[in-house]
Structure 1
Amino acid sequence: MRVVHLNTYHTTGGAAVAAGRLNRALQKQGVESTLLVQEENRPEWMLPEAGVEALATSFLAKKMAFARFGAERLAFLPFEKDKAVRFQFSPAVTGVDLTYNSLIMQADVIHLHWVNFGFFSVEGLGSLMRLGKPVVWTMHDMWPFTGGCHHSGTCENYQRECGNCVPFLRNPGPNDLSHSVWQRKQKAYEMAHLVPVGCSDWLTHRARQSRLFQPFSVLSIPNAIDTNQFRPVDKAEARQALGLPTNKRLILFAAAKVSTAGKGFVYFQRALHQLHSQLENPREVELLIFGAGDKGLLHELPFQYHFLGPLSDMTRISQAYNAADMFVIPSLAENLPNTIMEAMTCGTPAVGFSVGGIPEMIQHRESGYLAQYKSAEDLSAGMQWLLQLPPNDYAAIAHAARQHVLTHYDEAVVAGQYASLYEQLLKSE
């Protein structure tokens, strides 16, 4: 069985991480699996990875890939409501044609992941659908079944056929850009042998409500993680490896870009100020932060902090999770965050808002803490609850966190589900 996975990026972003993990997990299961990306952007320290191919390998091809990204952004520029939504809506008007790509031609199953930002146009996706091969599409956000937005928020227009796109478009109307993108997708999906898959039950439920996916059976299969790579280690050793204090309680915040509005840093900041005012000895608590973004934001935090910058080495990322007493994720929109999975696998309880797929990951007061959406007060209460737990109770919470991951997200479990799906699709042809 030959499976080719398609994702825009190799290592950048949560979808890239998830696609890479699934590709490796399937290889371990004996599936001939290959990840095809637009451009391989692995860090210098990372050796070339078996089973990963890139389209843009020459200087000219890389420039063309960047040009497609630019063209995609320029196409949306006249329509965007403001700069804040610039990367939250993808009209998908430009991309590559992989109809005659050797990996695509040899594949038994085509497996789509996140394919925006100039990798595929809607019409390019339609060309893949018309090849007649089974297409599995792991959705890492809502874009596959909306008129262009990646997360619709409270808007439910995608359930019909989009239009009147108030959250993202400058001049919303019945026949606006979102409506035309929706119609292009409907045409591209005609006669497709497509199985959309939500990484979370939350996303699966939303996908099933879209008229675009009414002809298809939408499944729910979570992302995978290597629970041997991410595992509990001695906390003191992890801290020493990272040059962190061993006599403090450490609260971890991590994001690809700390300052991204959707990551909820402002709520984290408010919650920390409240926590600082309520602790008897706030000097016992310090912060651990990794990710890219404006370091100046951190100076306004009430606790001393340790900033590790952007991390790409999975060993150091695992050490950071193990070094922390808790992981806080105040995101305002999430599917099934890799960060929560990584923290919990290391036995580090998570505190996050009850939004998207997060309630499927954190069992309230059993493996972590679910805070009321956009409530800095409840986010602070969750952090305080974990800090004040007796050692035995904390150990039970930490154990439950890892056990949940082992049961639901371990790479062997998830790869087995996908392998079974592929076999069923091939048998039904």
Structure 2
Amino acid sequence: MKILQVNYYDDLGGAARIAWLLHQGYRSLGHQSWMAAGVKLSSDPFVEQITLPPSESFLGLPLIKLAEYADKQSWKIGNRNFSGLLRRIAQPSRYLKRNQGFEDFDFPGSRLITSLPEEIPEIVHLHNLHLNYFDLTYLPELSQRFPTVMTLHDMWPLTGHCAHAMDCPRWITGCGECPQLDVYPAMNHDQTAYNWQRKKDIYAKSKLYLTGPSKWMVQTAQSSILAPAIVKARVIPNGIDLTVFRAGDKQEARELLGLPKDAAILLFVSASGIQHSSFKDYSTIQKAIEIVALKAIDRRILFIALGDTEFTEMIEDVEVRYLPHIDSTERLAKYYQAVDIYLHASKAESFGLVIAEAQACGTPVIATSIGGIPDTIKDGESGFLTKPNDAQDMADKIVLMLSSETMIESMGKNGTNFAQNNFGVEQMIQNYMKFYQEILDDRNV
């Protein structure tokens, strides 16, 4: 089969990681697979970068090229990517329009994606289309010419600007008067009603085969402006590398990482940052730790927050260590193996990849029941679901679990089995291949 995938990055975290695993898996099975990327980070010869938009001055193209290099090097100014500043200087009029609140679809190079591979693709598979690289107005033409699969990794295609609406219901009725313009991808001015209507008009002329990593994500799309475009929908959970994320010896992992052998250790991981992420709910975890710290637990407790600037603080007798994000999946797996409980609180979540990773490593999970998270835990068997924004509920579950080593071991084993049966990369690849074949068979009838 000939498959073309489209994403902003070819190999990074989140959606790019899923697209990359699919791409590599397809090729290993003998299929012809290519990727079209807004920014190419890898040296893979089967990944092509989408043609850059025309520059506005003689300095434009060099600055954009420098911005691509800055992306690869992850250069930052404070918490912001340096590449963004370079692109603003290179194309000031484009960024002026974005500053006014209008989503930018003016990327003519994305209309040439199907000519980038050596051969004409049989399936075009779209992943994240925001981050300013894809012309969404091309969707009707593309989906008429090619069977087009769209995987929703977040809610951006359904809203007037944000990647997740969280408690705001305005994405259902038309956006406008947006109460959360600062939510990623942030807007300085409110054009969300215009952006929402523009997307609705595009989808009305499109034909898409939809996938989402959770039942919640697919059901949300089916209740949105995207619904008229959906020919067929399928829930396909994200996959993880089970050769990396697997159960291991807890004490060996602690020794490798320099963690205390006798402490009760809790972990939270967030690639988007711990304390300042729009979609993670660290305050609920923090309050839960404060409640646990006041309980009479006769063990030293260490809480690790992985994904922030390094420092240590004390909450009563509980040590809280903030550690920087790590890129190595092998080292991340060691953290999962080393801890007793993985904690996760979110305001929005389409799936919960880190939850699947933790369970695969034999670590029970306590997580808020929101978005797609319930699909990733067997409540009461591999961990516990807690009420959103309820620190007391989370604290109660932590105390319950810490009071029983037998429960931790039993839930850990259940989690490993659950992850192995549902979240392996190979299973994800096979599920997509079956869906692709079903789509091609339907179109040939």
* Residue among 379, 383, 394 paired with 1:368: 383
Residue 233 (str. 1) matches residue 248 (str. 2): yes
Q: Distance in 1 between matches of 2:162 and 2:427?
A: 31
Letter in 1 for 2:164: H
* Residue among 288, 291, 297 paired with 1:271: 288
Letter in 1 for 2:227: F
Letter in 1 for 2:65: K
Q: Distance in 2 between matches of 1:31 and 1:389?
A: 49
Cα 1:268/1:169, change in 2 over 3 Å: closer
Q: Distance in 1 between matches of 2:223 and 2:194?
A: 19
Aligned to 1:92: 104
Q: Distance in 2 between matches of 1:73 and 1:230?
A: 41
Residue 128 (str. 1) matches residue 150 (str. 2): no
Q: Indicate the RMSD between aligned Cα atoms, in angstroms.
A: 2.8
Residue 62 (str. 1) matches residue 96 (str. 2): no
Show the 5 A alignment for 1:111-126.
Answer: 111-126=125-140
| 1:63-113 deviation digits (Å, cap 9, x = unpaired) | 47656964776544344xxxxxxxxxx823443523334335622111111
Residue 33 (str. 1) matches residue 46 (str. 2): no
| 1:140-195 deviation digits (Å, cap 9, x = unpaired) | 111122233211223333334x133432359xxxxx72232223223333443311
Cα 1:368/1:346, change in 2 over 3 Å: same
Aligned to 1:379: 394
| Superposition deviation, residue 355 in structure 1 | 0.5
| Superposition deviation, residue 277 in structure 1 | 0.6
Aligned to 2:274: 258
* Residue among 150, 156, 166 paired with 1:153: 166
Aligned to 2:215: 201
Show the 5 A alignment for 1:8-407.
Answer: 8-41=8-41, 48=43, 51-55=46-50, 61-63=64-66, 66=83, 70=88, 74-79=96-101, 91-101=103-113, 102-103=115-116, 106-126=120-140, 128-130=142-144, 132-160=145-173, 162-168=174-180, 177-216=191-230, 217-256=232-271, 257-259=273-275, 260-282=277-299, 284-291=300-307, 293-295=308-310, 298-299=312-313, 301-302=315-316, 303-391=318-406, 393-407=407-421
Q: Distance in 1 between matches of 2:36 and 2:246?
A: 29
Q: Any idea what SS the aligned residue of 1:7 has?
A: strand
Letter in 2 for 1:394: I
Q: Any idea what SS the aligned residue of 1:118 has?
A: coil
Question: Which structure's relative contact order is higher, taking Cα pairs within 8 Å and 6+ residues apart?
Answer: 1
Q: Any idea what SS the aligned residue of 1:418 has?
A: helix
Q: Any idea what SS the aligned residue of 2:385 has?
A: strand
Normalising by structure 1, report the TM-score. Answer: 0.85
Letter in 2 for 1:395: E
Q: Any idea what SS the aligned residue of 1:419 has?
A: helix
Q: Any idea what SS the aligned residue of 2:112 has?
A: coil
Aligned pair count?
403
| Superposition deviation, residue 139 in structure 1 | 0.3
Q: Distance in 2 between matches of 1:166 and 1:9?
A: 28
Q: Any idea what SS the aligned residue of 1:363 has?
A: coil
Letter in 2 for 1:370: L
| 1:23-70 deviation digits (Å, cap 9, x = unpaired) | 23333443322333222346xxxxx45754444899655347656964
| Superposition deviation, residue 358 in structure 1 | 0.8
Aligned to 2:72: none
| Superposition deviation, residue 334 in structure 1 | 0.7
Normalising by structure 2, report the TM-score. Answer: 0.82
Q: Distance in 2 between matches of 1:280 and 1:243?
A: 23
Cα 1:345/1:76, change in 2 over 3 Å: same
User: What 5-or-longer segments of structure 2 have no aligned partner?
Assistant: 53-60, 69-82, 183-189
Aligned to 1:173: none
Q: Any idea what SS the aligned residue of 1:321 has?
A: helix
Work out the percentage of aligned pairs sharing the same amino acid: 26
Letter in 1 for 2:353: N
User: What 5-or-longer segments of structure 1 have no aligned partner?
Assistant: 43-47, 80-89, 171-175
Aligned to 2:4: 4
